[in-house]
């Protein structure tokens, strides 16, 4: 077997094991034939919810320095909203308050959680959520990277990683939550803005990945800590 073939076979074995574990732990949403796999249940927040839609993101002073305008959560809060879903789904709070786009944005706004890039000061500092790690769970930004193979993303979801997919020609982020075997090469998502329930793998250009793990070694970030809406 070639080296590439060995890698693929290894990933398939790991995915099969991860799926078996998910079934054993009751993480698979079982339909008539258990074809829908949703390893972890995340709340679905919308970035234009009126309770926080008009809250600003980047600090006014920082935006003024680079000549840009603070955006609202409704305008540019898709990546941040996805992160808030991931935190809430794993029971990670924002300074003792339940995570949602409003509470997470308020914390980021007041704690240098946004950064200027390309004339836009509403970019999420991707490793900022690491701050919310607890004595029992580490929240860890892993990477912003080109998407791996479909099976690798499946494995990550089953193993508890939160994966944000960059879709719509790199203009929008969604939270990947699972897949349906009846629709090959497609991920089920929580979309914080559009009514879409799924996106084809081909429409995902890159991903932002977080891990939620017990305190131990975690790979260092491999990309600059920012993401544009």
Asked whether 212 and 101 are in contact (CB, 8 A), the reply is no
pTM, rounded to two decimals: 0.81
To which H or E segment does residue 36 belong?
strand 36-37
Confidence of residue 11 (pLDDT cuts 50, 70, 90): very low
Residues with Cβ within 8 Å of 71's Cβ and at least 6 positions away in sequence, in order, are 56, 57, 58, 77, 120, 122, 229
Torsion of CA 212, 213, 214, 216, to 10 degrees: -130
Q: Could you read off the pLDDT of 136-157 as tens digits, one per residue?
A: 889 999 999 999 999 999 999 9
Asked whether 40 and 210 are in contact (CB, 8 A), the reply is no
Q: What number of other Cβ atoms are within 10 A of residue 37's Cβ?
A: 21
Please report how the helices 3-24 and 150-158 are oriented relative to each other, as an axis angle in degrees rounded to 10. 30
Does the pLDDT of residue 95 top 50, yes or no?
Answer: yes
Nearest to 131 by CA among 106, 166, 84, 94: 94
Does the pLDDT of residue 218 top 50, yes or no?
Answer: no
Kind of pairing, strands 186-190 and 138-146?
A: unpaired
Residue 26 DSSP class: T
Nearest to 152 by CA among 142, 140, 167: 142
Does the pLDDT of residue 85 top 60, yes or no?
Answer: yes
Q: Could you read off the pLDDT of 47-78 as tens digits, one per residue?
A: 999 999 999 999 888 888 778 889 999 999 99
Alpha helices in the chain (DSSP H): 3-24, 60-66, 73-76, 78-89, 101-110, 150-158
- Which tokens belong to 176? 């990947």
CA 133, distance to chain mean position in Å, is 16
What percent of the chain stands above pLDDT 70?
Answer: 79
């Amino acid at each position: 077997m070639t080296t590439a073939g060995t890698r693929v076979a290894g990933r398939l074995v790991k995915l099969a094991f991860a799926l078996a574990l998910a079934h054993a732990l009751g993480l698979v949403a079982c339909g008539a034939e258990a074809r829908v796999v949703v390893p972890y249940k995340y709340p679905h927040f919308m970035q234009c919810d009126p309770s926080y839609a008009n809250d600003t993101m980047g600090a006014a002073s920082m935006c003024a320095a680079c000549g840009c305008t603070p955006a609202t959560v409704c305008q540019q809060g898709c990546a941040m909203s996805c992160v808030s879903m991931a935190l809430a789904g794993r029971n990670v709070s924002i300074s003792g308050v339940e995570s949602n786009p409003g509470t997470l944005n308020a914390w980021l706004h007041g704690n240098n959680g946004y950064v200027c890039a390309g004339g836009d000061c509403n970019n999420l500092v991707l490793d900022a959520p690491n701050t919310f790690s607890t004595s029992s769970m580490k929240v860890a930004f892993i990477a912003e990277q080109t998407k791996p193979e479909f099976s690798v993303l499946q494995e990550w979801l089953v193993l508890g990683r939160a994966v944000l997919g960059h879709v719509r020609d790199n203009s929008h982020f969604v939270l990947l939550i699972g897949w349906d075997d009846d629709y090959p090469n497609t991920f089920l998502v929580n979309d914080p803005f559009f009514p879409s329930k799924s996106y084809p793998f081909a429409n995902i250009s890159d991903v932002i990945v977080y891990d939620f793990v017990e305190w131990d070694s975690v790979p260092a970030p491999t990309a600059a800590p920012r993401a544009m809406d």
